[in-house]
Amino acid sequence: MNYWLVKSEPGAYAWDKFVTDGGTAWTGVRNFAARLNLRAMKRGDLVCFYHSVTGKDIIGLAKVTKEAYPDATAKEGDWSCVDLAPVKPLAKPVPLDAIKVDKVLAGIPLVRQSRLSVSALTKEQFARVLALGGTKL
């Protein structure tokens, strides 16, 4: 199993909307590194859902329900998307400020490459997010 982090601005697509929808195609990614990450996702992989811009918190957990396929929202180019479904909210959000000072999380792409919308996490980093979020699977 692999672990991931996806970012969404709450004004564009919030966690609550994701939960209400019961899942979504994760479309609109137009960054080559993020595209590679989307293409590496496997069905059943777990995903941290991060609210960017407003809030700046990891707020919930999702899972990959369909592996990479062509992104129909792309007008040109070879872009991919995956399908995600909500698993559960974190018991308490994990704010960016806490991530930046945590020994295990300070080096994750969210901190180092803040514009990367889809990034990988190690098993240890994912477990640390769960611990900081007071959440068990």
- Give the mean pLDDT per block of 10 residues along the chain (137 residues): 96 97 97 97 98 95 98 96 98 98 96 92 98 96
pLDDT attached to residue 114: 84
Which domains does the chain possess? 3-132 (3.10.590.10)
pLDDT attached to residue 120: 97
Q: Are 3 and 45 in contact (CB under 8 A)?
A: yes
pLDDT attached to residue 115: 86
Radius of gyration over every alpha carbon of the chain, rounded to an integer in angstroms: 14
